[in-house]
Amino acid sequence: MIINQILFTTQENKGEQQVVLRLKQFLNLQNSATTKIITQQETLCLQSTKFKNGMSIEGGAIYIAGDSNANIQSSIFQNNKARSKGDNYAGDLGDDIYLTSSLNLITLKQVQITNLKAKNSIYIEQAKIYSQELVIKDANQNENSYRGAGIYCYYCRGLEIRDSSFINLRSVYGGAIYILEQDLGKETSNKNNKKFQIINSTFTNCTGEQGGALMLDNAQSVFIQNSKFIGNTAKVIPEYQIHAADLASGGAIYYSCNAEILNCILIFDGVNIFKHNNAYIKGGAIYWTILEPIFDSNNLNFIDNSAFQYGDNLACFPQKLGSLSVNQYLAHILKLGLIENTNQRLLQYTTAEKIQYFQSIQSQKSGGAIPIIYMALIDQYGQIVGSDSNSKVRISIQANNLDEKAIMYPAILQGNSDFQASSGIAIIQDVIVTGTPGNIHLRECIEGEQFTSAGKCIECQDNTYSLIKMIEPSSCEICPTEKAICIGGANIGPLPGYWRKSNTTKRIEKCLFEPACLGMIPPNQNPMGDCLQGYRGILCTDCSKGYSRDNDYQSSAYDIFIQFFMV
């Protein structure tokens, strides 16, 4: 064991002990204990210090616990190791820094960590970390690195990373950083507290099976601003003994949340660049499982990202069904490499075709097989979920407006009713419909009905409305209850004091003389609103026949007299 130039200086500072190390080197430390154990009421300051080839059970260079602070500046950590207790022992964590159960935080400024064999360089449990100009690189040769080769944030109390770089890191879950939270440990129900922040930082050439650079596992509040994700990859890593549950997903970021509690949020702010990221299955840049990240078009700049099966930039889960033409289907399976390209122009001319969310079968013979239908699983962004081969599409018959003849011969479905999706598409075939001779024709949704993702037309409920004919899945509009009343369907009308120009507009105006506007009231339920007796016209400002203007916008009745003169 060699220790060069060690100096401990203890200073009293408001009742706390402070250990300061400057210009020191710790070389080849291989003990059962770590270099320094920080206990309660103690602060460690490291400046221009180098830790190289250290080894310990937990925290190959530094172990911090208790009510402690640590401030590490302009220091280097190189090839330290947390000693393993067997191939799968969970305690061999934090090859460079191990921080646990600390009520305060560790601060890293201008720190460089290089560790080829790191399982994870920094392990943080129930503590906080702040880093600025932190560089972690080349941790990519440990076959037992399962969570965050750079930082493993396990039930952290907070994390803030600024102006930092993560380069060439590899792990199963989150190549660079893995953040895990459980709902019981979340401090508040407020999801907007920016508990985990990544600002002006860069992730380059990181690799993971689930989240090439980041995996955010049920994290309550993550804020990413002005950061770059370049050349990260989500793929199967053959040499690992344990593999991810959702393989090769999220080339740069994999974001998941507890589906029952839903106490998570991921916010993108500023301009975040995703360039040349790749997922071998889905989500070349970002994959999310339950809750969509919050962003607008200016927050995410996607450049040449790719996913082999689905979602070059963004990917999630199937949310609706759409019908494809034969050419669209062939183009899809051609892209996935399931058939050879027999038509070089196939991909080119099918790009102009749009996925259909309504299909009518005309002149279908009773007892005959309906034409083959290619039903695609579509995500929120209108993409075919080509990675899904587990879902099924179920068909059924619903008969409406039956006459006596139709009642005598009810529609019957023969053949399969469940069809397995393969690469995001279920092929509906060999289905026979028997019933009253005639056509199978489903009308479109009308005004006042919602076109659901399941293809149904459902009347808008109370406090919602729709004034348009939906031709693709959408939602009824929320009633502006401060000035209108909505009783379902297309029935929206003004409240007292308001007026509506026609039954086709959703604009509702406030009346100049509010008592003149009665609103939509029974028994008439006039969608434009009734006027008080004596008023009519736009905003109920004109006087009815037999009335004259008394004050501004106010009418009063006038009488007609017959005068008699004595001559």
**Beta-carbon count within 10 A of 512 CB:** 15
Residue 429 pLDDT more than 80?
yes
- Average pLDDT value for the chain: 78
Residue 225 pLDDT more than 90?
yes
- Distance (Å, rounded) from C-alpha 65 to C-alpha 59? 11
Determine phi and psi for 19, rounding to 5 degrees: -100, 120
Token code pair at residue 277: 């990221």
User: Where residue 38 falls among pLDDT bands split at 50, 70, 90?
Assistant: very low
Predicted pLDDT at 223: 97
Q: Which is more confident, 472 or 59? A: 472
Predicted pLDDT at 9: 33
Predicted pLDDT at 173: 94
Residue 557 pLDDT more than 50?
no
User: Where residue 253 falls among pLDDT bands split at 50, 70, 90?
Assistant: very high
Residue 364 pLDDT more than 60?
no
Nearest to 309 by CA among 282, 287, 332: 282
Instruction: For residues 287-293, give the mean pLDDT.
Output: 93
Predicted pLDDT at 338: 82
Residue 24 pLDDT more than 70?
no
154-189: pLDDT as tens digits: 988 899 999 999 999 999 999 999 999 988 877 665
Nearest to 451 by CA among 345, 320, 563, 346: 320
Predicted pLDDT at 464: 93
What is the value of pTM for the model shown?
A: 0.70
Predicted pLDDT at 219: 93
Instruction: For residues 512-537, give the mean pLDDT.
Output: 87
- Distance (Å, rounded) from C-alpha 535 to C-alpha 533? 6
Predicted pLDDT at 345: 58
Residue 114 pLDDT more than 60?
yes
447-477: pLDDT as tens digits: 888 877 755 678 899 999 999 888 778 899 9
Number of alpha helices (DSSP H) and beta strands (DSSP E) in the chain: 3, 60
- Distance (Å, rounded) from C-alpha 121 to C-alpha 164? 15
Determine phi and psi for 40, rounding to 5 degrees: -65, 150
Instruction: For residues 324-344, give the mean pLDDT.
Output: 80
Instruction: For residues 150-156, give the mean pLDDT.
Output: 91
Predicted pLDDT at 255: 97
Residue 304 pLDDT more than 90?
yes
User: Where residue 297 falls among pLDDT bands split at 50, 70, 90?
Assistant: confident
DSSP 177-225: EEEE--GGG-S-S-TTS--EEEES-EEES-EEEE-SSEEEES-S-EEEE
Residue 558 pLDDT more than 70?
no
H or E element, residue 319? none
Percent of the chain with pLDDT over 70: 72
Predicted pLDDT at 407: 57
Residue 19 pLDDT more than 70?
no
86-108: pLDDT as tens digits: 333 334 566 778 887 766 678 99
Determine phi and psi for 408, rounding to 5 degrees: -70, -30
Q: Which amino acid is at 433?
A: V
Predicted pLDDT at 141: 80
Residue 549 pLDDT more than 60?
no
Nearest-Å Rg of the Cα atoms of the chain is 34
Predicted pLDDT at 85: 33
Residue 1 pLDDT more than 50?
no
Predicted pLDDT at 459: 87
Predicted pLDDT at 332: 87
The phi-psi region of residue 393 (left if phi > 0; otherwise alpha if psi is between -120 and 50; otherwise beta) is beta
Residue 84 pLDDT more than 80?
no
Predicted pLDDT at 392: 86
Predicted pLDDT at 393: 85
Nearest to 443 by CA among 461, 469, 417, 467: 469
Q: What share of the chain is helix, strand, coil (3-state, %, to 5)?
A: 5, 40, 55
Q: Which is more confident, 174 or 557? A: 174
| Lowest-confidence region among 54-58, 138-142, 235-239 | 54-58
